[in-house]
Structure 1
């Protein structure tokens, strides 16, 4: 054991001595140059990985190993940048500060190049019979291929071998290799070998021919505190394997992992790994509450928001550490970099131990972001937007000022005490997201243009041809920006193009974003941004095939609030579609006031067709749109909000609202508003805190009265379900 460690130290010393004196002279000169930069410039340089600013010459050395393979090590002058982030810190998240000097020590050393690390990974894969793809994915998720430590949950090295109160994969690996644990902390090659040896041991004696077969071994390898988190981390490894990745290392190299799109876990395994309950404080968040590491807030006022980074480690590892009652640290929320997923650890009514200063802990909400010193690419748009959206919700709820560097207000951890945290947090970008509030308000609409109209004679009823070849949404004055919805059934003979307009508005108030998508999914939405009404949708300016009886949904979101009552109309037309480009997706414009999400719906129940009740109608859609209608809602971090438009009469004097496939009583809790079609929202009848199914009455007993219905789910939905509205006499 001692011989292996001595051999490693000799190799390291050889690399260091072989660095040229010229390189070190230039490094020292560059260190002096770096001192003129202020902290913001350090951070910007660090994020951009500008090699020319950090060091003109990368110190590197090639040596030949015992097998004749050329190993390359790189050394960069990261001193100024790292010190600007980690100097003089005392941070309870990382062992009262002793972690930061260790980080600096590891990053000062010559580090294996990507080529050399790939060689180590391939060697270990062959030696222990573990797929190299598995090893590469672990190294990417855990450390961005960086030999560093310790992480927030006391993990070491490129493969994150942990040694803490609930797991000791570092000790197990060292035992299997007959090496001291310090060797695995210091030597990337031995760290990789230790991980491969453990995985082979966890896999057992049976052959595992497919990458998917390693799921259980990867769970055990993760070293996290409970089975749910172990499954979460294993699934993250497979996400990287399936989709591939690209990132930058601290040594100026680009790390690319190829995708393996054919890798597929069973739905049962994915669903099990992603099962979760939702936060009762903030519906987009997953609830994974710890039983320790917090205090009661009692009646103390919340007036401060504190941003953190995890420094080293991972999203799942951070959650795991905060569940460790020996850690004596926590935060209220943790946010994942890859997709902005949020997990709540401590309820907001309690005090999380995150700031290291009691006076700030007791008045604040603390949030950890999955960003590490080893991977500066991880300030992702998804994470920053999710973070800012959540901060917007809580600053509104508690009246926290949206001002940075103030108390009350918004702080970084390093503005409370001497600490590296939150590292290179991009404050300007985050504050812009925070203040770009999208308050799209419901205006009581759920309009439809239906192909059912072919069944009716011309001028059939007072509403003709509304709901058939045209429809209209009533918009009301408000400080919030209005949004209108249409549901459009294609008829190639008379309605394969749709014109949207608000003809009574002046041109300067007609700028909108238009989102269009298929009725049954939000996966293929497109958005035309910052266009001016009128606007015509058709096959030539959208990617969709507009064939008979296909259903589409359309959202029109105004870019400014309205000062007058007006109407937004949709009408079938023969005119040519408007020439304009679109962007894939609609998510940026789907979030409505109070964090609700549009689900592509604008359903209608009209008595125009009710005289056909006793007839056999040759339509797959019958009796939808006449006696009942349905909306599909997909799982989402946001709470769903759906709309129905209902025409009441003697046959349908009431309406039953239900989500029959939704099992959870919690998720069937709703707030419902019902109002006449043409009146403002504040005149709605409100059904608060109800559980579906719910029977509602018309706002007007007169036959043919139009009602509009808004259903706001009080919690996010964890499964795909149908929301139904049904006439009781059907």
Structure 2
């Protein structure tokens, strides 16, 4: 009998097979039933301590190390990001310091390192940023080691055009981080960098007293920063608010709302959520049409739902929420997820939007040809539970057992797999931050999704998987109670219906622990996908 293992953090999982990008990928099929699929590249966070890199770059280019660290924290939370273009006219950001476009190229020249190294190597990225800051300081005649005197150089580094945005970046972001201090952690809990608090006030004009800011008329507590990039929704049903689109800014909070409030950008969103959830900006009134998604509706991308919308701009009937951060980042803060979930709950209540994965979608789902946000590591399971909890809905009654351990309440549900199952996030569209796959063969060796019911109940069981042409067309899910009594079975085609909940059946369960098992048994040459199970 093969030894079972409990699901553990992704950083600790053994990698059995890997492709060129370092992600485990399902093996090529040998069965005529299955075709080959390609793996997607997903960014990772820095896997080393960044503190020595910051210290060395600070000495080399005579830049205060705390300032360098604070900027990196504001830009990426010290994650090694590989940005995607989110807004037209704004190049993608790269690395711990979120360098982009001409700024990245200039930093590379000043530091004497190749542009590709600045994009991919933490040390080269931090050195390029330090060299750039030194150049800005020299141009501005900042000779002092006094942190306060560096504020104008920080404003220039931001790349923000709006005066209010530059001032907010300096005061509310970088220098506020210096005063608070910070600790960055990877998914496994290890410290990536740390910043001790420094009590300093920037030598830079505060353009607006925080206490005098205008608040949103739509969402209580949100700051109102009007964007000119909006227009009226069309009349009729097509203009009625029906869905919420989740985006990532591919940048920092202040950089994001400043760009969306800039007339020259020609883009907008209704809301932007800060990295820690402590502030939300509204730029477009709910009733108005934001310019946040550049595609027309195609119901084939949304479970053939409401195909009458086909061909109409998705902006007509959606609300767009941008989240400070990057599709490639590996860690999302609980504060940001919770603030966003609370906002979405409010939107669904006010506009009569159903709280499910047909009406609350990622940008990439409706614009898959050139967008990936909110990314493979967006915690959809946690997110939907938080939305329901804020709305006082079915969160307590619904159980989601996810391939990402951080999305599971261990007292209500968990996953066990044998060593024959491999963890990956190679195929986009998975639930949480990853899934398991295993080759089909002559042994059942199931992935077991365990869930606890405090009382007997009749529940519907659903499964989520990533579809692909190398998946089993006849994957077997079996349902059993805690005594091993088989309650039923469902066979599904995992080559189809990916990135959605698929009903397996409805059964009467006893109180206690029950199990949904996905078997590996079947003709060789395919794989089966254990991603997530929902019981409701």
Question: Given the two structures, how large is their TM-score scaled by the length of structure 2?
Answer: 0.55
- Cα 1:129–1:278 change in 2 (3 A) is same
Work out the CA distance in 2 between the residues paired with 1:311 and 1:278: 22
Give the one of 314, 319, 324 matched to 1:365: 319
Which residue of the partner structure matches residue 386 of structure 1? 339
Larger radius of gyration: 1
> How far off its partner does 1:196 sit?
1.4
Give the one of 349, 357, 373 matched to 1:405: 357
Which residue of the partner structure matches residue 134 of structure 1? 67
> Does structure 1 residue 192 correspond to structure 2 residue 153?
no
Work out the CA distance in 2 between the residues paired with 1:321 and 1:278: 19
> How far off its partner does 1:221 sit?
0.7
Work out the CA distance in 1 between the residues paired with 2:351 and 2:391: 19
* 1:210-244 deviation line (CA, Å, top 9, x unaligned): 32332222111111232222222223122332222
Relative contact order (alpha carbons < 8 A, sep ≥ 6): 1 or 2 greater? 2
Which residue of the partner structure matches residue 268 of structure 2? 330
> How far off its partner does 1:374 sit?
5.0
1:230 counterpart SS class: helix
User: In the comparison of the two structures, how many residue pairs are matched?
Assistant: 348
Matches within 5 A, 1:636-651: none
> Does structure 1 residue 239 correspond to structure 2 residue 201?
no
Work out the CA distance in 2 between the residues paired with 1:113 and 1:430: 26
- Cα 1:267–1:317 change in 2 (3 A) is closer
Matches within 5 A, 1:695-714: none
> Does structure 1 residue 306 correspond to structure 2 residue 244?
yes
Matches within 5 A, 1:15-164: 49-53=9-13, 55=15, 77-78=22-23, 104=42, 107=44, 113-115=47-49, 117-150=50-83, 152=86, 153-154=90-91, 155-163=93-101
1:376 counterpart SS class: coil
Stretches of structure 2 that go unaligned for 5 or more consecutive residues are 1-5, 27-36, 297-311, 393-536
Which residue of the partner structure matches residue 553 of structure 1? none
2:82 counterpart SS class: coil
Which residue of the partner structure matches residue 155 of structure 2? 219
Contact 1:170 1:184 in 2 (8 A): yes
Contact 2:69 2:195 in 1 (8 A): no
> Does structure 1 residue 287 correspond to structure 2 residue 228?
no
Work out the CA distance in 2 between the residues paired with 1:324 and 1:52: 44
Give the one of 360, 366, 370 matched to 1:416: 366
Work out the CA distance in 1 between the residues paired with 2:228 and 2:209: 22
* 1:128-161 deviation line (CA, Å, top 9, x unaligned): 2111111122222223434443354422332122
Work out the CA distance in 1 between the residues paired with 2:275 and 2:109: 34
Which residue of the partner structure matches residue 654 of structure 1? none
> Does structure 1 residue 340 correspond to structure 2 residue 294?
no
Work out the CA distance in 2 between the residues paired with 1:274 and 1:338: 20
> How far off its partner does 1:363 sit?
0.9
1:377 counterpart SS class: coil
Contact 2:185 2:191 in 1 (8 A): yes
> How far off its partner does 1:266 sit?
8.3
- Cα 1:349–1:311 change in 2 (3 A) is closer
Contact 1:385 1:430 in 2 (8 A): yes
Stretches of structure 1 that go unaligned for 5 or more consecutive residues are 1-40, 60-74, 82-87, 90-99, 440-730
Structure 1 segments of 4+ aligned residues over 6 angstroms from their partners: 56-59
Which residue of the partner structure matches residue 256 of structure 2? 318
Give the one of 231, 245, 248 matched to 2:185: 248
* 1:306-362 deviation line (CA, Å, top 9, x unaligned): 242417422223224434667554321111121331112223232223343244321
- Cα 1:394–1:148 change in 2 (3 A) is closer
> How far off its partner does 1:125 sit?
0.9
